[in-house]
Chain A
Amino acid sequence: MKENQTRNFEKVITRTIQFSGYSSILFVLLILFFLLSEGTPALFDVPLSQLFSERWYPIEGYYGILPLILGSLVVTLGASLIAVPFGILTAVFIAEIAPKWLQEIMKPLVELLAGLPSVVLGFLGILVVSPFLRDTLNLPTGLTALTGSLLLGGIAIPTIVSISEDALNNVPDSYRHGSLALGLTRWQTIWGVTVPAAKSGILMAVMLGVGRTIGETMTVMMVTGNAPILPTSLQALFMPIRTMTATIASEMGEVATGSPHYHVLFFIGIVLFLFTLLVNVIASNISSRKLKRSERILS
């Protein structure tokens, strides 16, 4: 009797756990479903040629999302230019060069940056970074794409540092020892052996960092000025800009449910989802390729 009870209990638990395991798939499908069901009507409300035109002015019925897409790309590109070199070099420093005590100081600091809410960075952007840029570069306003890029760089750096550092730490010590024994300096070992061995992990770190940047909302909304101007040249970096995320966040609160504007905002959500999906698929391909190679070596 007691044994029977245990067995039944075990069955229920196993089912519950199995269902919880599957729940992630369910949630992704739900997210996809709601984005599509609320976003695709935009294609019927607004002609396609207008949707991908360059004028975003919803009050008068202009729903061109091109400036928003390019706005996101410009800010992301700017942020990557800052975060990728600084992030990778910091990871190399922490993993390969820094003495133990310095590691113990730097790692928690990077984690602290990762934990800072994005509104805090946006707040500092408004009060510190933007006036500074306005005065030093002599701009009409400090709320520009550049300001956004600088702060988003700060958001991407912790991701890039911690994943790259893991990748570097996973390189077996025998690689380093072999290289040093052949008479190479530590510097040559780092760039000739360790970093190439950790390449796929570092690439993945970069992709995930970029993914975070595209999706970041509050910071860009607070510091980029939110002007939906189509960026056409490098000059755009010093002008106000508006991203997809900021548009959704700032306008969704004011639209009527079911209006064309509402559907277009969801449509922008679909575009954003596709962008991050692309980035993530690339990142996970990199990591699975790495897995296969290491499996080959081990077998």
Chain B
Amino acid sequence: MQTAKKSNVLKQLRIEKLGFSVLTILSIATVIPIIAVVIYIIYLGAPAISWEFVSAMPSEGMRAGGIWPAIVGTFYLTIGTALFSVPLGIAAAIYLSEYAPMNKVTQSIRLAIINLAGIPSVVYGLFGLGLFVIFLNFGTSILSASLTLSIMTLPVIISTTEEALRAVPQSFRVVSVSLGATKWQTIWRLVLPQAIPGILTGVVLGLERAAGETAPILFTGAAFFLPRLPNSPLDATMALPYHLFVISTQVPGMPIQIQYGTVLVLLVFVLIMDIIVTMIRSHARAKRQW
């Protein structure tokens, strides 16, 4: 009896050991490719990077020269997206966290946000084409593309901001209002400043996604090739992700080095955004007093 029990325990422990090893191997097999991809891109892309590559216009049908207009274009699109989606997203999150009553309407708002988050990026492209490009007659432009990207980015910004606002203790609000501050004064002076790290994280993550997207800008603002930089929001623009798509599938005889160089620039951009997020988070964790 005693020995049977003991051997059963031993068996379970052996199973546990085996299970843990298998899980460890599988999980590491899941993340190893990610590291491999990063090293691979850096290794093959680094030789292509030079000051000329990031600062010159493309030449010879994009087969030589730099990618400057694509970098500038992505920068414009990101700023344009931020101008619209950051204020609107934060305001919507304030409504949901501080004002919204528990009723059917609020439930519909939440359902709408979940829906927006799930809509495929190419469908956003169709919508942008229908509304901004054709109906509002903005044409294929930075404006149309930015507005399309903004709506796509909203759910990320709203949900992270709402979470950050809800994390601020209720007692802060109660004390502030009891001291005679109005609801808005409480939100503006007290709740928002406390929630800034969380909000920033959401904003950066949302914009990172927007900047890397191609499908929504395909028919709303991206240009195959432009000999000059865009000079108004109503111009079409080149953009890094779209440029990568173009040079890796649409242009025959594209030097491989330029392709890897472009990928590396995109990767560096993503890495920088991720590092910013990590820094905001750890800084906020260190400073938090509640």
The interface stretch among A133-141, A170-178, A214-222 is A214-222
Chain A residues bordering chain B, tally (CB within 8 A): 83
Decide if A215 touches B113 in the complex (CB within 8 Å). Answer: no
The answer, yes or no, to whether A20 is at the interface (CB within 8 Å) is yes
Interface 0/1 of A34-77, CB less than 8 Å to B: 11011000000000000000000000000000000000000000
The answer, yes or no, to whether A146 is at the interface (CB within 8 Å) is no
Decide if A31 touches B123 in the complex (CB within 8 Å). Answer: yes
The answer, yes or no, to whether B54 is at the interface (CB within 8 Å) is no
B12-45 residues with Cβ-Cβ distance < 8 A to A are: 12-13, 15-16, 19-20, 23-24, 26-27, 29-31, 33-35, 37-38, 40-41
The answer, yes or no, to whether B115 is at the interface (CB within 8 Å) is yes
The answer, yes or no, to whether B235 is at the interface (CB within 8 Å) is no
Decide if B263 touches A123 in the complex (CB within 8 Å). Answer: yes
- What residues on B are CB-neighbors of A208 within 8 Å? 118
- CB proximity of A109 to chain B, nearest CB, Å: 5
Decide if A249 touches B34 in the complex (CB within 8 Å). Answer: no
- What residues on A are CB-neighbors of B273 within 8 Å? 115
B167-192 residues with Cβ-Cβ distance < 8 A to A are: 182-184
The interface stretch among B55-63, B90-98, B225-233 is B90-98
Shortest Cβ distance from B208 into A: residue: A115
The answer, yes or no, to whether B78 is at the interface (CB within 8 Å) is no
Q: Which of B37, B38, B92, B131 contacts A24 (CB 8 A)?
A: B92
The answer, yes or no, to whether B125 is at the interface (CB within 8 Å) is yes
Q: With A25-B109, A120-B267, A123-B248 in contact, is A17–B94 under 8 Å at CB?
A: yes
- Complex CA gap A25/B104 in Å reads 12
- CB proximity of A255 to chain B, nearest CB, Å: 10
Q: With A10-B184, A21-B96 in contact, is A245–B16 under 8 Å at CB?
A: no
Decide if B214 touches A218 in the complex (CB within 8 Å). Answer: yes
Shortest Cβ distance from B123 into A: residue: A269
- Complex CA gap A95/B41 in Å reads 30
A selection of 24 A-B contacts at a CB cut-off of 8 Å is A9-B184, A14-B99, A17-B99, A20-B88, A20-B94, A23-B92, A24-B113, A31-B119, A37-B130, A38-B126, A109-B31, A109-B34, A109-B35, A112-B38, A115-B209, A117-B214, A119-B214, A122-B248, A161-B30, A218-B214, A249-B125, A252-B129, A273-B120, A276-B119
* B contacts, CB < 8 Å to A: 12-13, 15-16, 19-20, 23-24, 26-27, 29-31, 33-35, 37-38, 40-41, 88, 91-92, 94-96, 99-100, 105, 108-109, 111-127, 129-131, 134-135, 151, 154-155, 158, 182-184, 205, 208-209, 211-215, 218-219, 241-242, 244-245, 248-249, 256, 259, 263, 266-267, 270-271, 273-274, 278
